[in-house]
A = this chain, B = another copy of it.
Amino acid sequence: MSGVATHGAKASRPASGPVSLRDSPHARLYPLAFDEAEITGGMWGERREVNRRRLLPGAVGHLESSGNFDNLRAAAGQGSEPFRGPVFMDSDVYKWLEAVGWELGRHPDPELADQADRAIALIATAQQEDGYLNSYYQVNRPGEPFSNLAQDHELYCAGHLIQAAVAHSRALGDDRLVEIAERFVELIDATFRVAGRPGTPGHPEVETALVELYRLTGRRRHLELAAYFIDQRGHRLLGPGHYGPSYYQDHVPVREAREVTGHAVRALYLAAGVTDLYLETGEPALMDVMQAQWEDMVGGKTYLTGGLGAHHRDEAFGDRYELPPDRCYGETCAAIASIMWNWRMLLATGEGAFADLLERTLYNAFLVGLSCDGEAFAYVNPLQVREDHRDPVERGARRQPWYRVACCPPNVMRLLASLEYYLATADEGGVQLHQYAPGRLASDCPQAGRVALQIDTEYPWQGQVAVRVSDSPSAPWELALRIPGWSPSAELTVNGESVAVEQRAGYVTLRRAWRPGDEVILALDMTPRVLTPHPRIDAVRGCAALERGPLVYCIEQADLAAGVSVDDVRLDAAAPITEQPISDPVPGSVALRAGAVHDPAPRDPGAWPYLATNVVGPDGSSPAEPSPMSLTAIPYAFWGNRTPGPMRVWIPLAE
């Protein structure tokens, strides 16, 4: 399917989706080949239909009205409009094109293909003779390329151009964007690596893209350019900027950076690139810092939802355990970047913890980023919005059809369009299932032969996953199924017979000579869970949260009786939690019912809110005694789809 298989790559494995480890010597697992993973329904099938039918066509109008296309036209000499929007406007076009590429590879669509053709032709025309391509600089600052690496985003845009090119090449065999991208990359390479000019991108992204361009083309200098930028980072070449060099992860050399710091999306795109470099070079120092950063992130800088970024000011990680639910930034793009990084860490290590975090992020911090009706996107994703909040967009309480800084919407589109590539992998011995969705998977096992599987499940609403073998070689091979870390137990049958669940690194592995028609049924434990936070996470002390399966739940004002504020509810963690099918906002989903008390806050609005209880005693101004109530919690990802209003994931505990 790849149109550039002739570039010299030793095609030991078939090309895949966004990450294609055809010759990566340090991978433990390999993505399935392009066209050999399919999602056929379920919740993700529905979201992908929304993407195909609504988001991708609708984005054309936004890119037109926001000026993204006009900027490229101006760069191409086709118009005289002044440049509009932030410096990285081109990247929105590229992300949309990447999504369209994956989608067209699956579903031919003449109208969408025509729109993509026109965009590609426009990009080709806008590109300079010397290969340079960035409409902001071409229109507003001609002759000054790469003059402000810290802020300019030219290399960031180049990264997204490359990723769009990869999609069109792998999914459609269309190398027009690859040619454009390689011409630009040649200029970048000559300007920096070949010339030995110091510099690294202010916003990482090109690193992971360059490694993928190497994987696509086999041209090693793309890998060397990625390594160059990674080597250059951490030497404070970018200057202090507004927030200090750690904002750009430029405060310490990459091989010494053991913490995730600064702007979350920057940190995670960089981590994806560093992990990609490790997959190709196997340099232990790179995996060592990636493991350390991942533990730093997971242990004290990740929200329950998988969301990342505790600061609005610099869209950045906070200190360890600084995880305010209300001021959680949790940018949708950071969730996507985390999914990208975790996928690469999984491929490098084979350890289920990375698939666990990927799943958590996908079902919560990412899924929340798109409204149920597909009309609007969230940029910021807090875990709490108070009664009487101000600034609903900044609070995350109202999704928007588009944004002036529109990084998130097309990022949602490209992940949805390529989601099937995150479900399963293969290795020498067999196939590994990481995420569960109804679909079909296939792989040519090197030691055995062709394997094909059909997955039936109502995941995430039900915990049962049926895996039917639809094709198998006669030789034995291994089927590995992830047991999510959230599932305290699991049951497994093969053709109706119970099998002991022996986990290793988060997977149960069944090795046998499979026959077509064999059926494995995995039953995960969907018991609703009550989560308590680490005692150092100050911001949610005395609270608990609810989860079921991969989903984090929240309470929303829309489910509370009139006169009961979401801010006055206290969870009775000892009361039973029951499951309840609901149809609003999402048909077929499951709510949780929990015991609680309504404890109305003192209502004197002007009174000093701190009470010296040891000398004056309680003030007794509470308007009512706490009263028992029943509480409905819905999946966090679906909040804000009914009457916009307050919400919280962490619920204070009743005393």
Seen from chain A, the residues whose Cβ lies within 8 Å of a Cβ on chain B are 244, 246, 261, 294-296, 298-300, 304, 311-313, 318-322, 324-327, 384, 386, 388-391, 395, 485-486, 488, 525, 527, 529-543, 545, 547, 567-568, 573, 599, 601-602, 604-616, 652
Contact = CB atoms under 8 A, between A and B. Distances in A.
Nearest to A650: B538
24 contacts: A244-B391, A246-B391, A261-B390, A298-B606, A299-B605, A299-B607, A313-B313, A319-B326, A321-B386, A322-B386, A324-B326, A325-B538, A384-B538, A486-B612, A488-B615, A525-B615, A534-B601, A534-B611, A535-B599, A536-B601, A538-B539, A538-B652, A541-B543, A545-B610
Nearest to A614: B530
A248 to B, nearest CB: 14
Say whether chain A's binding surface is mostly helix, strand, loop, or mixed: loop
Contact of A390 (B300, B319, B532, B609): B319
Contacts of A573: 614
Given A326-B322, A606-B298, A539 B539 contact: yes
A375 to B, nearest CB: 23
A534 B313 contact: no
Given A390-B261, A612-B530, A296 B601 contact: no
Contact of A300 (B299, B321, B605, B616): B605
Contacts of A539: 324, 538-539
A234 to B, nearest CB: 16
A246 B320 contact: no
A609 B485 contact: no
A264 to B, nearest CB: 14
A359 to B, nearest CB: 13
Contacts of A543: 538, 541
**Copies of this chain in its oligomeric complex:** 2
A192 to B, nearest CB: 30
Nearest to A603: B299
B326 A538 contact: yes
A121 to B, nearest CB: 37
A207 to B, nearest CB: 24
Counting chain B CB atoms within 10 Å of each CB, the highest count among A319, A530, A534, A610 belongs to A610
A542 B545 contact: no
A602 B486 contact: no
Given A386-B321, A390-B319, A534 B602 contact: yes
A296 B606 CA distance: 6
Contacts of A389: 319
A543 B610 CA distance: 11
A488 B530 contact: no
A567 B537 CA distance: 10
A609 B533 contact: yes
Contacts of A609: 299-300, 321, 533-534, 536-537
Contacts of A320: 386, 388
Given A311-B313, A531-B610, 13 more contacts: A295-B605, A298-B608, A299-B605, A311-B312, A312-B313, A321-B386, A324-B324, A324-B327, A485-B608, A529-B615, A534-B610, A536-B568, A536-B609
A610 B652 contact: no
9 residue pairs, one from A and one from B, having the closest CB atoms: A295-B606, A534-B609, A542-B542, A529-B612, A530-B614, A313-B313, A312-B313, A541-B542, A531-B610
Contacts of A542: 541-542
Contacts of A244: 391
A384 B538 CA distance: 10
A244 B394 CA distance: 10
A610 B295 contact: no
A527, A545, A612 pick with most chain B CB within 10 angstroms: A612
Contacts of A327: 311, 318, 322, 324, 327
Contacts of A545: 610
Contacts of A608: 298-299, 485
A531 B611 contact: yes
Contact of A612 (B388, B390, B531): B531
A80 B542 CA distance: 61
A132 to B, nearest CB: 31
A312 B652 CA distance: 26
A609 B534 CA distance: 5
A529 B386 CA distance: 30
A529 B614 contact: yes
